[in-house]
Structure 1
């Protein structure tokens, strides 16, 4: 079992409040977040950006391991993830996580690439965590 931690602090309430996020590793240390960073494009981060980063990283790693297990020894995987936050039930909900994968894997067939990427999407722990539509666009570069 692996565990990780992060913490968030919020001073003030509602739109006027200001928050800070810190992760165990220190990669984020008192990183600002709040209404302005979430909805108004102000500098800082927000929960959906962090979910997108986590999903892109997890899916890319899952795909890498699936390719290695299938016998491929080299390649490059670039994934972008876009998380959508919509109004729902009087509040908000993450409704979609859209993954876009661009890959270069010497010697792989298009069929094997498609299958392994789809399996990685389904098996990625963050995909399993999310309760939303998950899409995957994939392209294989030669």
Structure 2
């Protein structure tokens, strides 16, 4: 079974002066602004790193929740933040890290068992595996 979800972006007037918007298929984001000023300055809107952070935090937290439940732990709360690092690299930029920070409360679990399950969720959630996946590109160019 393949599940396909989508997001889209529009960018008008190219370069630093350009303005864009990002949307999700479900409407969670609808024409939400992004651009140079929201990524590298204090502009209002979002940026790719913030969206990746939200995706990674939510994916990991859900994977951990399911793994804990599968192991018999059903009472608890998980709160995760993912900080995405963007660094200058050569002529461009590179995402170098996703730092997950988790606050958890799980009734009846030992620290060793939690560590084992949490590390498994970190390694196996689909967003954690993203950089090891096949990346494809389809495009249409209009001149």
The TM-score normalised by the length of structure 2 is: 0.90
State the structure with bigger RCO (CA 8 A, min sep 6), 1 or 2. 1
2:33 alignment counterpart: 32
Aligned to 2:141: none
Write 1 or 2 for the structure with the bigger share of strand.
1
Deviation at 1:130, TM superposition (A): 3.1
Q: CA RMSD in A?
A: 0.8
Cross-structure match for 2:80: 79
Deviations 1:97-116 (A, max 9, x none): 00001100000000000110
Partner of 1:3: 4
Following TM superposition, where does structure 1 have runs of at least 4 consecutive aligned residues deviating by more than 3 angstroms? none
Ranges in structure 1 where 5+ consecutive residues have no aligned partner: 132-142
Secondary structure of the residue aligned to 2:128 is: helix
Number of aligned positions between the proteins: 131
Q: In structure 1, what is the equivalent of residue 24 of structure 2?
A: 23
Distance 1:43 1:126 in 2: 26
